Amino acid sequence: MAGRVDAKLAELGIELPPPPAPIASYVGFNVVDYTADFGRRAGLVVISGQIPLVAGKLACTGKVGGAISLEQAQQAARLCFINLLAQLKAACDGDLDKVKRVVRLGGFIAAGAEFTQHALVMNGASDLAVAVFGDAGKHARTTIGVPSLPADAPVEVEGMFEIG
């Protein structure tokens, strides 16, 4: 039986991919286990920066404000968050209902010196976080511009989540 979050994903028409396999010496995520308030066991999930891969290929490449339009960049940020969700699901042993909070998202926008719409791009990830998790999806956020990203990705998003 699908959980509450799985049902919401289905409602949004989102099918999570298998999380990208570990490449070389790093992994998709690590979980720091800790005792939360009132003795509750919890985990802080730290997830690697995700790029807009679809079935192992980048959905688009290039710079935002250049080859990539604002709308394409927002879609790319949304894809990054879907890949974060795929990693998060693995960190939860398949049960996304264990997610207590999206603690923080970090957004990296590949763009030139003159670009100013970083926040609008990153909303592609942030809005999906809230669509999926409701109030628990409201997160702290840092968004910056960068000259380049791995494999010429236009956007990269990393995340920190509380599960328990």
Residue numbers at the binding site for a copy of itself (CB under 8 A): 22-30, 32-37, 39, 41-42, 44, 46-49, 63, 101, 103-106, 108, 110-119, 123, 126-127, 129-130, 137-152, 156, 158, 160, 162
Name which of 83, 62, 69 is nearest 153 in CA terms.
62
Q: Please check whether residue 78 is in contact with residue 125, taking contact to mean a CB–CB distance below 8 angstroms.
A: yes
Could you give the C-alpha distances from 42 to 19, 36, 91, 92, in angstroms and in order? 22, 6, 12, 11
Which CB sits closer to a copy of itself, 1 or 23?
23
Task: Tell me the closest approach of the beta carbon of residue 56 to a copy of itself, in angstroms.
Answer: 15
Task: Tell me the closest approach of the beta carbon of residue 10 to a copy of itself, in angstroms.
Answer: 21
The dihedral region occupied by 13, where left means phi > 0, alpha psi between -120 and 50, and beta the remainder, is left
Task: Tell me the closest approach of the beta carbon of residue 66 to a copy of itself, in angstroms.
Answer: 9
Which CB sits closer to a copy of itself, 2 or 95?
95
Number of neighbours of residue 7 by Cβ within 10 angstroms? 12
Task: Tell me the closest approach of the beta carbon of residue 1 to a copy of itself, in angstroms.
Answer: 28
